[in-house]
Homo-oligomer: A and B are copies of this chain.
């Protein structure tokens, strides 16, 4: 139950990052809805397709309605879409990344996959939606920009796998791992932390 609410909350916040990008690109209501949907639902859909389990939003329409309602609320309450602060997109994206990474890792472990697969599926769930959003909107995917992104997802998934081996309460594991991803990602946005890149002379 707790995990379910976390999931719906993550869906809503991730959708906001799609809405923010659509606002910036001056899209109409349907563009907003499309970008919000692929962001919020895309990663988990890829995960379920790859794991060959039923796609999560087919049997439970709550996820779809959360996205739709999020879009409607944003459209109604944001008075000046052009002036949505720039940090709304990366911050809501960071929260979605954190929630979905851990939910994806958790689901894969539950299904009996190895930690290696679970970490990858976590990264796919967390990063997938944002990548589709950025590809459709023809932006450079956040995952390839300078700041730490997928790294946060991989570290968080690994932490969750480690914690889950010691059979602590699942809820605590989830919360700790989500916070770990969030801290890494938000810190890297705030202080523009980045891994060294290749290609420059070194």
Contacts and interface: CB of A to CB of B under 8 A. Distances in A.
B61 A117 contact: yes
Contact of A55 (B45, B52, B140): B52
Contact of A198 (B23, B135, B146, B197): B23
Task: State the number of copies, please.
Answer: 3
A196 interface: yes
Interface stretch (A96-104, A147-155, A161-169): A147-155
Interface string A21-33: 0111111111111
Interface of A: 22-34, 45, 49-52, 54-55, 57-58, 61, 64-65, 75, 78, 80-82, 113-114, 116-117, 120, 131, 135-138, 140-141, 143-144, 146, 148-151, 154, 194-201
